[in-house]
């Protein structure tokens, strides 16, 4: 992110700045922060993020891109129509001589001129009107609908709806009257059959049906979006909602797959249902029937022709592609018929010379089909199940079930003997009983052990001597000698660290006192101690 400063930068500084900007864009470095503590988007171009020179911006900021002119307190409110604020009891000096209100003079008074004004009668003083002043912006001053009450238009809508309702009612009455007159005339003549009477009665009944109870797609609804109840338009619902969605036909999770993105269900959701009662049999039913196959073949022909060098495109010029496909089919049929005629001329047509014998037409086959007394197929012509590439139903080690037919405690096993070891030998029902007996015995032993378990006996703490053996009871360490031994051990350690501090003449003493051993034990480093690195 480019900063606001325009100071000269060296080539190395410029390279670092570029790397930093790339890292910020990749999210590897934190974003730059402006004067107000807000993060600056690293993808903002430099010409937008850099402040002009005359603003003297010391830190990077986007303040120069924001609106810096403060707007006055514009308002969108409007006058409170008909509002009154105060009603006096007697006439006040400077008020309207006609009604007695202080907010206007006699010339601009909107009240009926009185025979004797309120100035002289001092009665029926009108209340003062609420006077407001608004500071409107440019659009507010030129808004024609500013202050319009939308609820007032609801009255207009109701008037037109009442007129339409009266018109529909009148037309319905006229229709009923015509049908009744026709029925009366037919009854007077007596020349029609009972079927015609039933049809006329049915027409009268249909005419009497209220329009609100008819189909939903003929209903016109009003969209109400205003505070006063006014409508912004009408919507005619043209969808018949009697059909069921395809994904609701079969709620089984293992049924046909439904893709919500493409809204497609290729397989049949109800394969076992009666085909005469089904109205949907999957998308494959439509993909493999009708003009879908022809359109697919046309697409394939266009692709193959384009690969072979012809200037043809199904989407760019569909009419040309269809014409070329029809010509291709005509030429293909002609070539096929020529090839057939050539073969017949060379080898002849045995089918036309003599008919096949009935023994061959109605002959036996090698397929064996077994039927029961009712004529149902018992054996043969079954639906072939797809076979797996793995071996199935292979029983090993005297097992009668396959591995994986038993599940217990997150482990697979054999159901015949309930063993969880794959290469085990089947023991049958005896093995199941033995395993259950062993499990019961183990549970009983655990329960008995928990019942007989007592609190552990207190362990006597042994004091270990400084040289690794038990401390005798009569051992007493001298504090002064121990302090000297600790000091001596420190000096010895310093000499071991720095060879320059070792004296030239070394005196060796083989006598080791208990205080020396205690000092050595206290100063030596324990490798298992987690705080050993912090010791001096």
Q: Mind listing the pLDDT tens digit for each residue in 423-469?
A: 888 988 888 888 888 889 988 888 888 888 765 555 555 554 545 55
d(CA 318, CA 510): 112
What is the enclosing helix (H) or strand (E) of 490? helix 479-497
d(CA 380, CA 446): 59
Residues 82, 141: one domain?
yes
The domain in which residue 58 lies consists of 11-65
Q: Could you count the other beta carbons within 10 Å of the beta carbon of residue 314?
A: 19
Identify whether 30 is part of a domain: yes
Sort residue 116 into left (φ over 0), alpha (ψ -120 to 50) or beta: beta
For residue 526, give every residue at least 6 positions away whose Cβ sits within 8 Å of its Cβ, in sequence order, or none: 532
Whole-number pLDDT of residue 200? 56
Residues 142, 83: one domain?
yes
For residue 204, give every residue at least 6 positions away whose Cβ sits within 8 Å of its Cβ, in sequence order, or none: 176, 179, 180, 183
Give the residue from 131, 150, 169 where a domain finishes: 150
Q: Which residue did the predictor score with more confidence, 387 or 434?
A: 434
pLDDT by residue (tens digit) across 187-216?
A: 766 555 555 555 555 555 555 544 544 444
* Residue 204 in tokens: 């009268």
Average pLDDT over residues 328-347: 92
Percent residues over pLDDT 90 in the chain: 21
Residues 54, 29: one domain?
yes
* CA-wise closest residue to 25 among 40, 37, 3, 5: 40
Residues 60, 103: one domain?
no
Identify whether 112 is part of a domain: yes
DSSP state of 33: B
Residues 53, 120: one domain?
no
* CA-wise closest residue to 124 among 154, 88, 160, 157: 88
Whole-number pLDDT of residue 167? 94
* CA-wise closest residue to 150 among 233, 235, 231, 222: 231
Task: Specify the number of domains making up the chain.
Answer: 3
* pTM, full prediction: 0.25
The dihedral through the CA atoms of 267, 272, 275, 279 has a sign that is: negative
Q: Which residue did the predictor score with more confidence, 9 or 21?
A: 21
Identify whether 1 is part of a domain: no
Cβ burial 87-113 (10 Å sphere, 16+ → b, else e): eeeebeeebbebbbbbbbeeeebeeee
Whole-number pLDDT of residue 213? 47
Identify whether 144 is part of a domain: yes
Residues 95, 143: one domain?
yes
d(CA 484, CA 293): 107
* CA-wise closest residue to 228 among 155, 159, 161, 150: 150
pLDDT range class, residue 124, cuts 50, 70, 90: very high
pLDDT by residue (tens digit) across 52-80?
A: 888 888 778 888 888 777 666 777 778 88
Residues 56, 84: one domain?
no
Residues 80, 61: one domain?
no
Provide the 3-class DSSP secondary structure of residue 31.
coil
Residues 296, 321: one domain?
yes
Q: Could you count the other beta carbons within 10 Å of the beta carbon of residue 74?
A: 12
Indicate whether 125 pLDDT > 90: yes
Identify whether 463 is part of a domain: no
Give the residue from 92, 117, 150 where a domain finishes: 150
For residue 501, give every residue at least 6 positions away whose Cβ sits within 8 Å of its Cβ, in sequence order, or none: 494, 495
Residues 94, 130: one domain?
yes
Identify whether 385 is part of a domain: no
Identify whether 335 is part of a domain: yes
Give the pairing type, strands 128-129 and 84-86.
Answer: antiparallel
Q: Which residue did the predictor score with more confidence, 417 or 496?
A: 417
Residues 93, 46: one domain?
no
* CA-wise closest residue to 200 among 183, 187, 185: 183
Q: Which residue did the predictor score with more confidence, 499 or 342?
A: 342
Give the residue from 119, 150, 181 where a domain finishes: 150
Indicate whether 337 pLDDT > 90: yes
Is the Cβ–Cβ distance between 96 and 106 less than 8 Å?
A: yes
Residues 21, 44: one domain?
yes
Is the Cβ–Cβ distance between 482 and 518 less than 8 Å?
A: yes
520 — phi, psi (to 5°)?
A: -65, -40
* Residue 377 in tokens: 């197929």
Is the Cβ–Cβ distance between 314 and 297 less than 8 Å?
A: no
Identify whether 384 is part of a domain: no
pLDDT by residue (tens digit) across 348-364?
A: 777 666 666 666 666 66
């Amino acid at each position: 992110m480019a900063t606001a400063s325009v100071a000269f930068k060296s080539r190395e500084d410029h390279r670092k700045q570029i790397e930093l900007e790339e890292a910020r864009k990749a999210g590897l470095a934190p974003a730059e922060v402006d004067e107000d503590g807000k993060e600056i988007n690293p993808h903002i171009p430099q010409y937008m993020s850099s402040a002009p020179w005359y603003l003297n911006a010391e830190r990077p900021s986007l303040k120069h891109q924001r609106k810096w002119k403060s707007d006055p307190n514009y308002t969108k409110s409007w006058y409170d129509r008909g509002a009154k604020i105060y009603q006096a009891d007697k006439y006040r000096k400077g008020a309207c001589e006609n009604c007695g209100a202080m907010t206007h003079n006699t010339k601009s008074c909107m009240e009926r001129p009185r025979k004797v004004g309120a100035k002289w009668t001092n009665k029926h003083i009108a209340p003062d009107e609420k006077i407001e002043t608004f500071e409107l912006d440019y659009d507010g001053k030129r808004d024609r609908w500013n202050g319009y009450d939308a609820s007032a238009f609801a009255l207009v809508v109701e008037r037109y709806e009442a007129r339409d309702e009266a018109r529909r009612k009148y037309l319905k009455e006229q229709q009923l009257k015509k049908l009744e007159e026709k029925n009366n005339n037919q009854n007077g003549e007596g020349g029609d059959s009972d079927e015609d009477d039933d049809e006329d009665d049915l027409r009268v009944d249909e005419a009497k049906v209220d329009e609100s109870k008819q189909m939903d797609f003929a209903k016109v609804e009003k969209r109400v979006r205003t505070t006063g109840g006014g409508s912004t338009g009408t919507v005619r619902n043209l969808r018949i909602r009697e059909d069921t969605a395809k994904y609701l036909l079969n709620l089984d999770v293992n049924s046909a797959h439904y893709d919500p993105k493409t809204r497609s269900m290729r397989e049949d959701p109800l394969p076992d249902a009666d085909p005469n009662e089904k109205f949907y049999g999957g998308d494959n039913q439509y993909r493999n029937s009708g003009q879908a196959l022809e359109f697919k073949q046309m697409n394939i022909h266009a692709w193959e022709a384009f690969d072979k060098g012809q200037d043809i495109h199904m989407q760019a010029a569909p009419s040309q592609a269809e014409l070329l496909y029809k010509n291709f089919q005509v030429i293909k049929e002609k070539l096929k018929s020529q090839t057939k005629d050539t073969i017949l001329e060379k080898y002849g047509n045995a089918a036309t010379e003599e008919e096949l014998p009935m023994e061959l037409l109605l002959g036996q086959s090698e397929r064996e089909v077994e039927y029961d007394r009712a004529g149902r197929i018992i054996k043969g012509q079954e639906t072939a199940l797809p076979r797996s590439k793995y071996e199935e139903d292979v029983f090993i080690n005297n097992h009668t079930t396959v591995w994986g037919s038993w599940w217990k405690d997150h482990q697979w096993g054999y159901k015949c003997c309930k063993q969880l070891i794959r290469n085990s030998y089947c023991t049958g029902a005896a093995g199941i009983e033995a395993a259950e007996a062993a499990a019961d015995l183990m549970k009983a032993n655990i329960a008995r052990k928990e019942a007989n378990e007592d609190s552990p006996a207190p362990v006597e703490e042994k004091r270990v001597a400084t040289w690794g053996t038990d401390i005798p009871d009569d051992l007493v360490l001298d504090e002064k000698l121990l302090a000297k031994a600790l000091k001596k051990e420190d000096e010895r350690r310093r000499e071991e660290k720095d060879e320059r501090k070792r004296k030239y003449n070394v005196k060796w003493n083989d006598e080791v006192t208990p205080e020396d051993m205690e000092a050595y034990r206290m100063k030596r480093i324990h490798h298992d101690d987690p705080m050993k690195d912090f010791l001096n």
